Amino acid sequence: MAHLSDKRIKELELVANTLRRHVIEMVAHAGSGHQGGPLGMADVFAALYFHALNHDPKNPDWEDRDRLILSNGHTCPIRYAAMAEAGYFPVDELMTLRRLGTRLQGHPERHKLPGTETTSGPLGAGLAQAVGMAYAGKMDGKKWRVYCQTSDGEHEAGLHWEAMLFAGKNRLDNLVCIVDRNDIQIDGRTEDIMPLEPLRAKYEAFNWHVLECDGNDVSAVVDALHAARSLFDKPICLITHNVPGKGVSYMENNFLWHSQPFKPGEAEAAVAELKAYREKLEAELVELL
Amino acid sequence: MIRKEAKLIGRLDDPKIPRKPTRDGYGQGVVEAARKDQNVVVVCADLTDSTRNADFKKTFPERFVQVGVHEQFLAAGGAGLALAGKIPFITSYAMFCPGRAWEMVRTNICLNDANVKIVGSHAGVSVGPDGATHQAIEDIAILRPIPNIVIVSPCDAIEAEKATLAIAAWKGPCYLRLAREKTPVFTTEESPFEIGKAAMLRTGKDVAIVACGPLVHDALLAAEELAEEGLDAMVINSHTIKPLDEKAILHAAETCEAIVTVEEHQITGGLGGAVAEYLSKVRPTIQEFIGVPNVFGESGEPAELLRHFGMDVPAIKRAAKKAHKRKTHR
C-alpha cells in the first residue's frame, strides 16, 4: 500500500539527497564528525521531517508537537540538515557545525538549539527519556506522539532495556522507537562486537509491536511510519534496515566510515556522486509530472 | 549562645527529645507539594515504603510511577517526564541514585536543566548494619561539580519537609539528601528555611562549626559542652551545600578565624571541601574536617559507627579545640 503519490515520494527522495549532501559538506567543513550513520538515515529523516512529524519549525516549543528524540546523538548532522531544510534555522548555519560558539554542537544540546528536545550523545539514554515523555503525554491524555531514533549499537546499553521493559509494561502506544539497523558500530560489525539478533524477537518478548522495512526506501519508510499509527496497546519498534554510508559508494557498508576524517578529494567525490544521482532523480520527477 | 531567631526547641539535650528520620519529613512534604502542584509526580524504584512514598502512592495513585530496580532509567526517564512538563521526584537510596545513575543525572537531568528532584535516602554511615555497600558517603562529592544542581541536606524531619516543598517550587534540578535513622527533631515549624541561606543557630566567637544533616544536632550539643569548658562556638546549619551560602561562611571566618566542618560524608568533596574551596580564595582560614576519613563504611549500629569514624560529639569537640589552638598558636 502506498500512502503517497509517486511524485511525492520522488520529492522526498530529492530531500534525502539534499540532506546527504549537507552531511558531507558539514562534516568535511568541520574536519570531524560522523558520516556513515547519518547518510544511512537520510531517507528516514526525510520521511520524518517532511511527512510524518506533526511539527512547526517556526514554533519549536509548540505544546502539541510530536517529539523526536535523537538518541544516537553523534548522528546529529542528519538531524541538523533536516531541521535546516525544514526551516528551523538558516541552511547557511549548517557550516558552523562543531565550531566554538555554534548552536550545532558536536552532540545536540537542547538549550542551544530549540527543537532538539533533549541533549543527547551518551548512548542508550534516549529511549529512556522518550519513554518518560510518552508516559507524561499519556498521563495528560495528549495526542502528540514520541519518536525516538536509536542506533543498533546502542542497544548494547543496559539502560535501553530498562526503558524497553517500562514501555512494554505501560503499553505506551504513543511511542515509536526507530532502530537504525545498519549493522555497524565503531569497532566493527555489531554481530561481531555483541550480537543483537534476533532483535525483532527480543522486542516482541518485551511486549512491543515490531515493524521492519528497508530504511533506504522512502516509500517503505513512509508506509511503516503510517502503519505505526494504527497499532495500539503496545509501544512500536520500527527496525529500518539501512546501508551505512548510503549514497556514497566508497562509504557504503564500510564501518570505518562511522566517523573517519575525509582525505583530500574524498568529500568532493562524494558530493559529485550525490549530484549525479540528483540529476537522475530530477529527470524521473519530470517524467512523473 | 543559641539564637532565638532560629526557633529551636527549648532543651537540645533532652533525653526525651522526639526522634524521627529525615525521610519521614520528605514523605509528608511530598504529599503536600503534590497538593499544591498537580505536576508533581513520584517515581519509585522498588523502594516505595523505605523511601517514604507510601502515603503519596495512596493519596495520588495516578501520579505514582513504579519503575522497578532500574535506577538509570529512574534518572533518564525522570528527565523525560520533566521535559514534558512534570515535576518528578525520583526516589531511591542515595547509593543507587545519584550513585549508580550518575551519568544520567549529569547529562540527562543537569545538562538538560530538567526540573527533576532527586531524592536519595539512606545517605551516610547511619544506615548501620547494612554495611559499606549501602552507605552512601560520596553522593555530595559526585554531585557538587555538576552545574545547575541544588544540593540540600536537611538537619531533621521538620527541615526535610520544608526542604521538600522548597525544591518542588524551585525551577531546576535538585538533590535532597535523606537519612534512614531516627534522629532528634530540634527545629520547629517556625525555624526559618530558605534554599541557599544557611541558618545561624548559635552565635560564638572562638570557633565556627559549619554542619549539615542530622549531625547539626551533634554540633549544637558539642557547642553547648564547649561553652561550659570556656570555648564559645558558633554553629551554622549549612543545609544547602550548593549553592553554598558564601556570605554566612565568610561571616563565620571573619568572626571566629577557625572553622570546623561537620558532615556524614567523605571528607573529600563534601561540605568541608566546598567551604575550604571558597575560603581559600577570599579569606584563608584554619579548618578542621569532621567526616569519613577516606575509608569505606562497615556494619555496626549507627551510634557506634559515628564514634568509630570520628563524627560524634566528642570528636566534634576535639576538632573545635584543635582548630582554636591552631588559631591561637599561629
Determine which helix (DSSP H) or strand (DSSP E) holds A236, and give its type and residue range.
strand A236-241
CB of A33 closer than 8 Å to CB of A243: no
Q: Which position among B32, B71, B224, B246 bears the catalytic label?
A: B71
Burial class (CB in 10 A: 0-12, 13-18, 19+), A59: exposed
Check: CB of residue B125 under 8 Å from CB of residue B297: yes
Q: Are residues B149 and B288 in the same domain?
A: no
Convert the pLDDT of each residue in B145-200 to its tens digit. 999 999 999 999 999 999 999 999 999 999 999 999 999 999 999 999 999 999 99
CA gap B211, B237 in Å, rounded: 5
* Domain housing B29: 19-184
pLDDT, tens digit, 9 for 90 and up, residues B24-54: 999 999 999 999 999 999 999 999 999 999 9
The type of residue at A286 is V
**What pLDDT, in 10s, does the model give residues B202-260?**
999 999 999 999 999 999 999 999 999 999 999 999 999 999 999 999 999 999 999 99
- Answer with the one of B120, B155, B184 that is the final residue of a domain: B184
Task: Collect all residues of chain B within an 8 Å Cβ-Cβ radius of residue A131.
Answer: 73, 77, 80
Size of interface A-B (CB pairs under 8 A): 92
Cell of A173: 502506544
Which chain A residues are Cβ-neighbours of B96 within 8 angstroms? none
C-alpha cell at B320: 573545635
The strand pairing partners of B266, in sequence order, are B292
| Whether A166 and B108 lie within 8 Å, measured CB to CB | no
Task: Report d(CA B218, CA B182) in Å as an integer.
Answer: 14
Respond yes or no: is residue B103 known to be catalytic: no
- Is there a single domain that holds both residue B170 and residue B212? no
Q: Around A146, how many Cα atoms within 13 Å sit in the side-chain half-sphere?
A: 32
Do residues B105 and B163 both lie within one domain? yes
Q: What is the pLDDT of residue A180?
A: 97
Same domain, B156 and B200: no
- Rounded (to 5) percent helix, strand, coil in chain A: 50, 10, 40
> How would you write A170-205 as a 3-class SS string?
CCCCCEEEEEEECCEECCEEHHHHCCCCCHHHHHHH
For residues A255-266, b (16+ Cβ closer than 10 Å) or e, as one string?
A: bebbbeebeeeb
What are B40's strand-pairing partners? B87
Provide the whole-model pTM.
0.96
Q: Please state, rounded to an integer, the average pLDDT across all residues of chain B.
A: 97
Q: What's chain B's length in residues?
A: 330
The x, y and z cell numbers of residue B75, run together, are: 534518572
Please indicate, yes or no, whether residues B105 and B211 belong to a single structural domain of this protein: no
Q: Contact A133/B83, CB-based, under 8 Å?
A: yes
The β-bridge relationship of strands A209-214 and A184-185 is unpaired
CATH number of the domain that residue B80 is part of: 3.40.50.970
Show Cβ contacts of residue B231 under 8 Å, excluding neighbours closer than 6 positions: B206, B207, B320, B321, B324
| Domains of chain A, residue spans | 6-288
Say whether both B108 and B237 belong to one domain.
no
The length of chain A is 289
The ipTM assigned to this model is 0.93
Are A20 and A50 within 8 A, CB to CB? no
Q: B277 and B169 in one domain?
A: no
Q: How far apart are CA B201 and CA B209, in angstroms?
A: 10
CATH code assigned at B268: 3.40.50.920
> Are residue B57 and residue B116 in the same domain, yes or no?
yes
Can you give the pLDDT at residue A2? 61
Grid cell for residue A249: 559508494
Cis peptide before A198 (omega within 30 of 0): yes
User: Are B126 and B229 in a shared domain?
Assistant: no
Determine the 3-state secondary structure of A270 from DSSP. helix
pLDDT at B282: 98
Q: Which of B138, B165, B184 is the last residue of a domain?
A: B184
Closest-CA residue to B118 (of B213, B245, B30): B30
Third-level CATH fold of A6-288: Rossmann fold (3.40.50)
Cite the beta strand spans of chain B per DSSP E.
19-20, 40-44, 64-66, 87-93, 117-121, 150-152, 174-177, 183-184, 199-202, 207-211, 233-237, 240-242, 258-266, 286-292
B157 shares a domain with B30: yes
Grid cell 547519518 is found at A38
> Do the chains contact at B86 and A111, CB–CB below 8 Å?
no
Which three cell numbers mark A267? 568529500
Q: How far apart are CA A68 and CA A46, in angstroms?
A: 13
Residue ranges of chain A with per-residue pLDDT less than 50: none
The distance of A56 to chain B (nearest Cα, Å) reads 17
CB B12 within 8 A of CB B217: yes
Choose the final residue of a domain: B155, B184, B213: B184
Residue listed under C-alpha cell 519509585: B44
Residue A151 pairs in a beta bridge with A180
* Distance from chain centroid for Cα A84: 15
The answer to whether A222 and A53 have CB atoms below 8 angstroms apart is no
The number of distinct structural domains making up chain B is: 2
What does residue B308 show for φ and ψ, rounded to 5 degrees? -60, -40
Measure the CA–CA gap between B317 and B221, rounded to whole angstroms: 9
Of A109, A139, A163, the CB nearest to B73: A163
Are B80 and A136 within 8 A, CB to CB?
yes
CB contact under 8 A, B77 and A121: no
Q: What is the mean pLDDT of residues B264-269?
A: 98
